[in-house]
Amino acid sequence: MRAVRLSVTTAIATAAALAAVTGCTEKGSSAGGDRVVNVTATDDKCEVSKKEFPAGHVELAIENKGSKVTEVYILFPDDRIVTERENIGPGTKQTVTAEVKAGDYTIACKPGMKGDGIRQTVKATGKGTVAKRDPRLDKAVAAYREYVQEQADETLPPAETFTKAVKDGDLEAAKKAYAPSRIGWERTEPVAESFGDDIDPKVDLREDGLKGDQKWTGWHRLEKALWQDKKIGAEEKALADQLITDLKEWQNRVGKAEITPTSMANGAKELLDEVATGKVTGEEERYSHTDLVDFKANVEGAQKAYDLLKPVAKENEPALVTELDKQFAALDTLLDKYRADGAKTDQYDFISYDKVGEGDRKELSDGVNALAEPLSKLAAAVVTK
Amino acid sequence: MTDTSQSPSRRALIGWGGAGLALGAVAAGSAVAMTRDGDSAPAGAATGAAIAFHGDHQAGIATPVQDRLHFAAFDVKTDDRAEFIQMLKDWTAAARRMTAGQAVGEGAFGGLAEAPPDDTGEALGLKPSRLTLTIGFGPSLFEKYGEAFGIADARPEALVELPKFAGDNLDKNRSGGDLCIQACADDPQVAVHAIRNLARIGFGKVVIKWSQLGFGKTSSTTPDEQTPRNLMGFKDGTRNIAGTETDRLKKFVWVDGKEGPEWMAGGSYLVARRIRMHIETWDRTSLQEQEDIIGRDKGEGAPVGKAKERDEPFLKAMLPDAHVRLAHPASNDGATILRRGYSFTDGTDGLGRLDAGLFFLAYQKDPRTGFVRIQRNLAIDSLNEYIQHVGSALFAVPPGVRDKDDWWGSTLFSKEA
């Protein structure tokens, strides 16, 4: 069964490679091709079958022959991670793929998943710097990068309106400005999350996400003060300043984030995951009940990434694109049902989520699942092999 | 994530419900029956064999009753006939693989690193576990989508709205459904995996309306095995229709082409009822009263006044409102149904009572002369003081998938709309 499965997969990978005009001439065979590096990991060794391979698509066929669970990394010379695979159990095999430019790299095995690991220096050879990507995808990434920057830039003014109201001690104005200040963030959250523990936990953490003695800062801390405690004190005012500082850091860094077509596609899916686990349940905005504003912004951000990738996805997977168009439209229509009385469709004025009953929440949840499941296949439809 | 080894912690978790809560007798009985290869795995987990998916009738009706159940009712979300038919075909392909112990699509690992795997993976390394997957179509499918799907005229007369019965307290969130899938297996993880993967394939076309896990069969179609006990502690289904009783199956279970619409020939009708038991009050009931209510003794399962479980019941010896007496074919113009129910325990309710009972599943040729006939007669059943029907659904179960080119519902949908 495994052999059959592998050959099918390889056939798809090869087809994708041809479709994407990478210039690679991959062999149909998965094993032994010059793009496959066999990595044999033991408790004290990390053996590689070759130390040189052509730049572009590379596949590490890893076998853990040791007694400890291990992980395997491909690292840039500055130790940034190209790709990794964790939790490789003793006696198991794993495959990890990456797209690498010509240059020096390190393959590291970490038995016990600790320390710097056992390292091997390898070289990706070739005169080009990188396997050529479909220029339309490069354009999509550039356009998305612009969008992400724009969202951050446009978030600061409403965020400052919000924090000014907090600092003025104006409870009602602060409540009114709260949800609109979050829209740009919610549209592009996966990019901010890609910075790891730097920004997201400072600005968007919920109380239940606190680790150890971590100080709770950011939007939701203020949300609780405004709706639950109904008072603004010196601490809240200081936190308002902190929020602007942190958002400015986001604004400065977001344009430099590593973005690839697949990270865009999976970022779109992650936005729907956010909706599925946080918004549909009403957990995200548990005090303000403005979940539907976040919901809408998440879907918009996902749609943006999708729209940019669509020309390529449509060539590779036309049926998927048809389905995604349909489900995006269906979810938008469904959300329109929950706009506040008299609100226009270009506004973010939705009814309070605590007024949305169980049956309606299920319908929203069904709509999210109907979109998120095909959206999880978008990355494969734009992947460059 | 792509580790091929089993997931003992998770399986143990699900398995615990069965082993820990089946009040001993059922779990022990199953374990003996199921671990015939001497495997030390939990009850029913590692027995192995696959049940054929193809046949004149769907598997999961007359085939031997497995230990575990995951039953799911779905509502349809598309009015596109072609899209719905394609989903039925995709479901059939996935079911064909899963019942043979294979992963869905291209498997759970080894594919593109950037995309989620086709199969969710939790059944890797587990045996087929006699998994059966059985599909049914509810009355609401014909009501809501009859025209869109071109099946408005195909609704069988027997696919009625079940009448309200005495004592019903039905929760609409546990009732009805446009479609159902009954997943039965000896390993609960295999059954749950099947429903989970079918639901995933169905996203955008169908949504789960409700679902029910069951542990411990309460009836069998294999009388040579020890008769299972329900949560009341009594043997249940002693006189159930056996899988080998071709004549009774033909008479009471399988629809033939003359009686119903042609597309149902070889099919059957499934009644599903979630029957909550008032466990705590039942447990305080004296042995004499329990045996009077049921009409059989608790230890052997013999009918009142008889010595052995399989002795012919003498109904007049039982109290007039005894359960076995009222449910017996002789009290119902011969009405007989094939029972295939499971015990369930969904934790406890807000009052600290076990939310437990019997998830009743019964197959019959016509529910009007089967379940409805019998259930009406049970209006005065003394057992009613200890049970409450809280969920209800009826489905038309089409005939079997014939071969690798056939698909679920082909007899209903193969005509041009």
The 10s digit of each residue's pLDDT in B358-396 is: 999 999 999 999 999 999 999 999 999 999 999 999 999
- Predicted confidence at residue A334, as pLDDT, reads 96
> What is the mean predicted confidence (pLDDT) over A121-130?
75
Interface test with B, best of A4, A7, A9 (most B CBs within 10 A): A9
Classified as helix, coil or strand, A326 is helix
> What is the mean predicted confidence (pLDDT) over B166-195?
97
How close does chain A come to B209, measured CA to CA in Å? 9
> What is the mean predicted confidence (pLDDT) over B225-253?
94
Q: Average pLDDT of chain A?
A: 86
* pTM above threshold 0.90: no
pLDDT band with cut points at 50, 70 and 90 for residue B9: very low
- Predicted confidence at residue B16, as pLDDT, reads 35
Nearest to B114 among A1, A5, A262 (CB): A262
- Predicted confidence at residue A13, as pLDDT, reads 37
Q: Do B204 and A266 touch (CB under 8 A)?
A: no
Under a CB-based contact definition with an 8 Å cutoff, are residues A74 and A105 in contact? yes
Classified as helix, coil or strand, A101 is coil
Nearest to B77 among A265, A370, A374 (CB): A370
* Span A231-244, pLDDT tens digits: 999 999 999 999 99
Q: Average pLDDT of chain B?
A: 88
A369 at B interface, C-beta within 8 A = yes
pLDDT band with cut points at 50, 70 and 90 for residue B19: very low
pLDDT band with cut points at 50, 70 and 90 for residue A157: very high
- Predicted confidence at residue A384, as pLDDT, reads 55
- Predicted confidence at residue A193, as pLDDT, reads 86
- Predicted confidence at residue A367, as pLDDT, reads 96
* Span B310-332, pLDDT tens digits: 999 999 999 999 999 999 999 99
Q: Is the ipTM of this complex over 0.90?
A: no
Taking CB atoms and an 8 Å cutoff, what residues of chain B touch A17? none
> What is the mean predicted confidence (pLDDT) over A113-126?
86
Q: Do B5 and A9 touch (CB under 8 A)?
A: no
In this model, does residue A180 exceed pLDDT 80?
Answer: yes
* Span B32-60, pLDDT tens digits: 333 333 333 333 334 679 999 999 999 99
Taking CB atoms and an 8 Å cutoff, what residues of chain B touch A8? 106
CATH class of the region A135-382: mainly alpha
* Span A9-24, pLDDT tens digits: 333 333 333 333 333 3
Under a CB-based contact definition with an 8 Å cutoff, are residues B79 and B145 in contact? yes
pLDDT band with cut points at 50, 70 and 90 for residue A115: confident
How close does chain B come to A141, measured CA to CA in Å? 17
* CB pairs < 8 Å spanning A and B: 66
pLDDT band with cut points at 50, 70 and 90 for residue A81: confident
pLDDT band with cut points at 50, 70 and 90 for residue A209: confident
The torsion of the CA quartet B182, B271, B403, B53, rounded to 10 degrees, works out to: 40
Q: Which residue has the higher pLDDT, B42 or A83?
A: A83
Please state the three-class secondary structure of chain B as a single string.
CCCCCCCHHHHHHHHHHHHHHCCCHHHHHHHHHHCCCCCCCCCCCCCCCCCCCECCCCCCCCCCCCCEEEEEEEEECCCCHHHHHHHHHHHHHHHHHHHCCCCCCCCCCCCCCCCCCCCCCCCCCCCCCCCEEEEEECHHHHHHHCCCCCCHHHCCCCCCCCCCCCCCCCCHHHCCCCEEEEEEECCHHHHHHHHHHHHHHHCCCEEEEEEEEEEEECCCCCCCCCCCECCCCCECCCCCCCCCCHHHHHHHCCCCCCCCCHHHCCCEEEEEEEEEECHHHHHCCCHHHHHHHHCECCCCCCECCCCCCCCCCCHHHCCCCCHHHHHCHHHCCCCCCEECCEEEEEEECCCCCEEEEEEEEEEECCCCCCHHHHHHHHHHCHHHHHEEEEEEEEEEECCCECCCCCCCCHHHHCCCC
How close does chain A come to B364, measured CA to CA in Å? 33
- Predicted confidence at residue B112, as pLDDT, reads 83
What share of chain A has pLDDT > 90, as a percent? 62
- Give the neighbor-by-neighbor strand order of the sheet with A81-88: A52-54, A118-125, A103-109, A70-75, A81-88
In this model, does residue A63 exceed pLDDT 50?
Answer: yes
- Predicted confidence at residue A126, as pLDDT, reads 80
In this model, does residue A328 exceed pLDDT 70?
Answer: yes
Domain boundaries, chain A: 30-125, 135-382
- Predicted confidence at residue A11, as pLDDT, reads 37
Instruction: Look at B46-50, B104-108, B123-127 and tell me which has the smallest mean pLDDT.
Output: B46-50
- Predicted confidence at residue B128, as pLDDT, reads 95
Closest residue in chain B to residue A366, using alpha carbons only: B207
Beta bridge partners of B271: B362, B394
pLDDT band with cut points at 50, 70 and 90 for residue B2: very low
> What is the mean predicted confidence (pLDDT) over B88-108?
96
In this model, does residue A78 exceed pLDDT 80?
Answer: no
In this model, does residue A159 exceed pLDDT 80?
Answer: yes
Structure tokens given for A188:
């592009």
- Predicted confidence at residue A101, as pLDDT, reads 81
Residue B371's CB: how many other CB atoms inside 10 A? Answer: 24
Q: Which residue has the higher pLDDT, B399 or A196?
A: B399
In this model, does residue B165 exceed pLDDT 50?
Answer: yes
Q: What stretches of A255-347 adopt beta strand conformation (E)? A: none
Q: Report the CATH fold assignment for A30-125.
A: Immunoglobulin-like (2.60.40)
- Predicted confidence at residue B337, as pLDDT, reads 97
Taking CB atoms and an 8 Å cutoff, what residues of chain A touch B90? none
